[in-house]
């Protein structure tokens, strides 16, 4: 089979390799749609501390089961499925505390083990979820980023009647707009440099969208969700928070970057800073929610590429015009 392999030095190759053989409790999936996200952009250049190389990328995906391993009786060949990429041990203190995304023994598919930018991928059934009948593969591949948003917003205060500002209108930021609107937010503002992405934010339910150099009303956010991964945006988000406001940090910032912080602001405004990393236990909720928002979020997929054009897909994901880029391994 063919697969894309990253070396962690900014290089990728399309290689011919052996097809996976499912082990006990595993299924082999033929990926139909694979999302490219901010994590992948860091992973490609080796700027992701937990990445292991060489590795086949691709952790947001949906596809069709083509083979089941020994002991698998809850899935069958032909089923359409999506995959939670976080394979946790289930036994460590973090797993037992309900934080499998923080598991010390976590094996994230497409980050430390081979992912779905390949014609076939083998995964344990404990992270496989059947897609609702009739759901497109494009929507199925968006379940993973939706689950990240649900996990993140679940770590912040209730969004009902709250003023929300989202920094960054990539797929995570745009999905956050959709979820916040469904949750009854009072106002949703978006800060984003790309005109195309600002328009997309308005299309999916934001009340207003601003360029970073535009002035927003001071202290106008109860919750500031940072989804761009740019240190300047993190600082701007903190500055925008009203008293007892919450910063929700979802963007992947380079591990070498820092920002200035005035501890007095934490004290004086009683601010709360919350981090959100990956999916945790939100994948099943995202599967349940996706049918109600499919028509809206499918429009976020603006670019598709075959495996052989992985480099072009990465370039597109960096561009101002892309909302969500999908790899179609069998196109």
Read off the DSSP letter of residue 158: P
pLDDT at 48: 85
pLDDT at 215: 87
Domain coordinates in residue numbering, the chain: 2-147+279-327, 156-275
Counting other chains too, the contacts that 90-93 makes at CB distance below 8 Å and 24 or more residues apart are none
Residue 4 pLDDT exceeds 90: yes
pLDDT at 198: 97
Question: Looking at residues 201-220, what average pLDDT do you find?
Answer: 95
Secondary structure in 3-state letters for 40-102:
HHHHHCCCCCCCCCCECCCCEEEEEEEEECCCCCCCCCCCEEEECCEECCCCCHHHHCCCHHH
Question: Looking at residues 208-237, what average pLDDT do you find?
Answer: 95
Domain 2-147+279-327 sits in CATH 3.90.180.10: yes
Q: Which residues neighbour 294 within 8 Å (Cβ) at sequence distance 6 or greater? A: 135, 136, 139
pLDDT at 50: 86
Q: How confident is the model at residue 220 (pLDDT cuts 50, 70, 90)?
A: very high
As a whole number, the mean pLDDT across the chain is: 96
CB neighbours of residue 51 within 10 Å: 20
Percent of the chain whose pLDDT exceeds 70: 100
**Angle subtended at Cα 175 by Cα 328 and Cα 40, rounded to the nearest 5 degrees:** 45
Residue 279 pLDDT exceeds 90: yes
Residues 96 and 110: beta-carbon distance below 8 Å: no
pLDDT at 159: 95
Residue 238 pLDDT exceeds 90: yes
Burial 266-289 (b: 16+ CB within 10 A, else e): eeeeebbeeebebbbbbbeebbeb
Q: Which residues neighbour 93 within 8 Å (Cβ) at sequence distance 6 or greater? A: none
Residue 38 pLDDT exceeds 90: no
Chain centre distance of CA 257: 21
Whether the domain at 2-147+279-327 and the domain at 156-275 fall into the same CATH topology: no
pLDDT at 157: 87
Q: How confident is the model at residue 254 (pLDDT cuts 50, 70, 90)?
A: confident
Q: Pairing relation of β-strands 121-124 and 26-36?
A: antiparallel
Fold of 156-275: Rossmann fold (3.40.50)
Which pTM does this prediction carry?
Answer: 0.96
Residue 229 pLDDT exceeds 90: yes
Secondary structure class of 170 (helix, strand, coil): coil
Sign of CA dihedral 206, 207, 213, 215: negative
Secondary structure class of 277 (helix, strand, coil): coil
């Amino acid at each position: 089979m063919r697969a894309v392999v990253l070396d962690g030095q900014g290089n990728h190759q399309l290689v011919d390799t052996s097809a996976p053989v499912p082990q006990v409790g595993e299924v082999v999936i033929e990926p139909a749609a694979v999302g490219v996200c901010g994590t992948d952009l860091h992973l490609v250049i080796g700027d992701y501390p937990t990445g292991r190389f060489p590795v086949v990328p691709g952790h947001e995906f949906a596809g069709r089961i083509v083979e089941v391993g020994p002991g698998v009786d809850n899935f069958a060949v032909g089923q359409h499925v999506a995959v939670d990429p976080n394979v946790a041990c289930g036994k460590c203190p973090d797993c037992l505390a309900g934080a499998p995304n923080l598991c010390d023994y976590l094996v994230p598919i497409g980050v430390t083990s081979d992912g779905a930018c390949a014609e076939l991928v083998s995964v344990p059934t404990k992270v496989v979820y059947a897609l609702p009948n009739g759901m497109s593969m494009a929507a199925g591949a968006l379940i993973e980023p939706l689950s990240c948003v649900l996990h993140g917003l679940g770590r912040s205060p209730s969004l009902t009647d709250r003023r929300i500002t989202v920094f960054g209108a990539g797929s995570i930021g745009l999905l956050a707009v959709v979820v916040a609107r469904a949750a009854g937010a009072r106002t949703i503002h978006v800060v984003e440099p790309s005109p195309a992405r600002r328009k997309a934010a308005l299309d999916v339910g934001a009340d207003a969208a601003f360029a970073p150099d535009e002035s927003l009303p001071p202290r106008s956010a109860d919750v500031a969700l940072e989804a761009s991964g740019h240190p300047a945006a993190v600082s701007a988000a903190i500055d925008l928070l009203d008293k007892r406001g919450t910063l929700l940090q979802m963007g992947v910032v380079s591990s070498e970057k820092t920002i200035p912080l005035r501890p007095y602001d934490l004290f004086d405004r009683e601010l709360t800073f919350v981090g959100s990393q990956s999916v945790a236990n939100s994948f099943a909720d995202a599967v349940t929610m996706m049918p109600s928002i499919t028509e809206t979020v499918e429009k976020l997929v603006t670019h598709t590429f075959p495996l052989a054009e992985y480099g072009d897909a990465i370039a597109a994901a960096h561009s101002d015009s892309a909302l969500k880029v999908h790899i179609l391994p069998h196109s």
